Each structure stands twice: as C-alpha cells, then as structure tokens.
Chains A and B, each alone.
Chain A
Amino acid sequence: MTATMQKRLVQCSLRKQSALGTPAANGQFKFGVTEGSAVKTEIDEGDLDTTWSTRLVEGFERTGVKPGAEYGFIATRQLIGQHLFFALGADAVTASGANWAHVITEAEPLPYATIFGRENSDYLQVNDCLLNTLELSFEKTSALKGKATWMGNDVLELGAPWTTTDADERVQSGFFNMGGGSFTLDEASANIQKGTIKIDNHLVPVDAAFQVEPVDHQPGVLTLEYSFTIIPTDIALWRKIVFGDPTHLSGVSPVPQYCSIAQQWLSGPTDTLTLTAPQVKCMVAFPEASPAGGPVTLEVEGKTSINLGGQAITWALLNQTHFYNA
C-alpha cells in the first residue's frame, strides 16, 4: 500500500532573477511556511458548448493558467528583508560592524524572482514571479509574521531537488518581534498592541493569445496600508485628525491629516528592523465606551502617500545578509 502524503513536508526558497525570462538556478534561503502552499496554480476553464443530439456539454476549453505562490512565513532575520525587497524594489546595502545595513525603499521596476517549492518528494519552481502582496502582522511580543502572494509566468516540475546557497532560515535562527522595540505615531510614542502592514503592488497579468500562461505582470498602483491598535493617554491624535490640530477644540478640518509612523522590531542583540513612513493619512474612530471599563483603545487606519521629498516608506534592516540578488 502506498503511503499518503504528509502536509508538513513543505519547503520554499526564492532567488532574484537577473532578468525576465532568466530563472535562477537555485534558491537563496530555504524556509518553511505557516500556511498556504509553496506553489499555486489557478486554472480557468469553461464550457465549450454547442447543440447536438444529446443534452450533455460538448466540451471544454482552458482559458488561463496563473502560476504563483501564496504562503505565510515567520519574519526571520534574513527572510523578512528578502520579501521586503521584492515587495518594494530597491535595496541599498552597506556594512555596519558585523552586520549589513539594508535600506529598502520603493523603486521601479520590481525585481523578478524564481520560487522553488517542495511538496514531499516533488520539487517545483515558478519562474518570473513578482510579489503581488505582502502583509505583515504582529501582536504584543509574538513573532512578526508575513503573508506573501506571488504571480509568475511558468511552473515547472523538476527532475531533481532544487538547492540553496545560504544557510536555512528557521525560527530558531532568530526572528523579529516588538520586544524591546518602539513605536511612534505622529512623532509621539504610543502604546501599540497589535497591527498589520500591507504592501500591495496590484499586479495585472499580461495575457497574450498565444499561450495559456501570462507572458508578464505589470504592477499597478502601489498601496501601503496600516492598521494599528494603540492604547492612548488622551485623544490628542483624534483631535488632530478631526480638527487638524491636537489642541484645537472646534472646527472640523476640511483636509485630511498626515501623520508619520516609525516602528522598530528587534531580533537578538544586533539585528533591527525599522519602518519609517513620513506621510500617512490616518483615520481614527472615537474610542468606544464600555460599562466593563478598562483601558481605551484606538483603532488607527493609515494609508501612505509619498511626501514632497520623494519618500514614501523606508525599511532599515540590520542583519547578516549582504544582498538579495542572483
């Protein structure tokens, strides 16, 4: 009797391609996932029907196959930078003591990646992938977690296991969390409980009539959205957003209010991950009352624009990886 497959035996890896149509030969880091799958294929098929002497469907047609990947991961020290680079497009790296200092920012164009996946004894790869969405989430001091969706042009079943060049990324190697970190909203420290940060490139497949898979993907608008739960000491933030001034007591502002966000996660004694977004349109609901009492919480929803200095979001990362390239 043949053994059934084991869900747990899934591994992934990524590597930047040198160009569209030039898949990488191997992965950079091998990592496990928390959800999703290493390889994803969406197949669109429809009825191809005509009349005939029976009432059955005459046949079917395949109109699209969309390779990609969708998985969750733990923000380990090297992996988080790799995903942020693919999400935003630019990484400038210098040495800083024993660590490498990355500054990851938005730029055009986005880099292509080859995604390698393993499912039990099957090894696959998806070529020409762009990162569509990257959603990071955290709560208290638990590990920073990510969820990534990718869209690629081709999926292959490999005849031999794929390999990697760098050390495996496993949670015991170190991950980022907020323990010892910091958070400021509108340049004031705030007690943050949890939050999510979503980067969405709004990829659009470039479909051609001569093949069932996309020939490429074109990024759409880049949106950077935040959702935070903070425990405030007053309602100054709400006043600023509604009135345009944290001390103003009347007169609703006719224009949106921008706030800055700065947040830092730590991993071990040396590695840090710092988010800076100088121009975030924030929305805050007035705090809800409760007969049960307890601390007031504010739900803050934000969306980044680019400021007049040309800065939208900057991720500064200190880790042990020199670069995320081919």
Chain B
Amino acid sequence: MTIVAVSAWTIAQDVHVSLGDADIDFVAGSFTATEEAEERALEMLASLDPPMAELVTYERVAPATPEPAPASDAPPEPPVSGSPPEPAQSDPGGASEPGADDGETDHSDSEASA
C-alpha cells in the first residue's frame, strides 16, 4: 500500500527559502505543504541547526482514507524472535515539539475515518 503523506506545518516566523532554482516564501502560521518544492524546503528548514529549526514544527500523517478490510481474521504474525524493535526515528533537527510525530510513523489507523 502506498501512503501519500500529508504534512501539517507550523512556521513560527516568516522565512524565505532559496532551494536550488526555487524560491519559496513561507508566511508565519499553519498550513499544509502541497508542492514538492515546499515540502523539500520545509524539511530542509526542519533539519537545520538552531535557530532555523526552531522556526518550523511539523507533523506528517497519512491521509484520512479508510483502510481496506483485512482478508481474513488471522492474527498478525508475531515478530521474529530476537529481532530488535523498530528504532524510533530521531526528530529532524529537534524541530518538532515533544511528543510530535517524527515524520516516519504510519498513522493510517489513527487517521482512518470510522
């Protein structure tokens, strides 16, 4: 299944980003990045050392689309014995608020509409 990520971003302060040929102006506030260049620019901002990383907080979630029903009632396979748990992804540049999504977790369950 392909999950199309949707990112909700908060910009603390107006910021202009030149990223290669693209020039993008972000106005302080919350919005959803729609263009690939915007997404890349925001991720670049979030990955920077302070003070720039402090300008950006974001949360990446899956689209609010219902998951297809499982084919059977069989329980999910248990994890392979001895395999380590998935490591938690680090917060890029420490930009996210404590407890915020790190941008990598699949939130499809929590976002699925009833």
Residues of A within 8 A of B (CB): 16-20, 85, 89-95, 101, 103, 105, 107-112, 276, 309-311, 314, 322-326
Contact = CB atoms under 8 A, between A and B. Distances in A.
Interface string B69-94: 00000000000000000000010110
B18 A109 contact: no
B44 A90 contact: yes
Nearest to A323: B16
Interface of B: 13-21, 23, 40-41, 44-45, 47-49, 51-52, 55, 90, 92-93
Given A16-B21, A326-B23, A105 B16 contact: no
A325 B23 contact: yes
Pick from A16, A18, A309 the residue with the most CB of B within 10 Å: A309
A92 B49 contact: no
B16 A17 contact: no
Contacts of B21: 16-20, 109, 111-112
Nearest to B45: A92
B20 A310 contact: no
Contacts of A94: 13-16, 52, 55
Contacts of A16: 18, 21
Contacts of A276: 49
A322 B20 CA distance: 16
Nearest to A91: B18
B18 A111 contact: yes
A92 B20 contact: no
Contact of B48 (A85, A111, A314, A323): A314
A309 B93 contact: yes
B93 to A, nearest CB: 7
A86 to B, nearest CB: 10
B20 A111 contact: yes
17 contacts: A17-B21, A90-B18, A92-B16, A92-B44, A92-B48, A93-B18, A94-B13, A94-B52, A95-B13, A103-B48, A105-B44, A310-B93, A311-B47, A314-B48, A323-B18, A324-B18, A325-B23
A81 B70 CA distance: 55
A264 to B, nearest CB: 14
B20 A314 contact: no
A110 B20 CA distance: 5
B94 to A, nearest CB: 9
Contacts of A112: 21
A247 B14 CA distance: 47
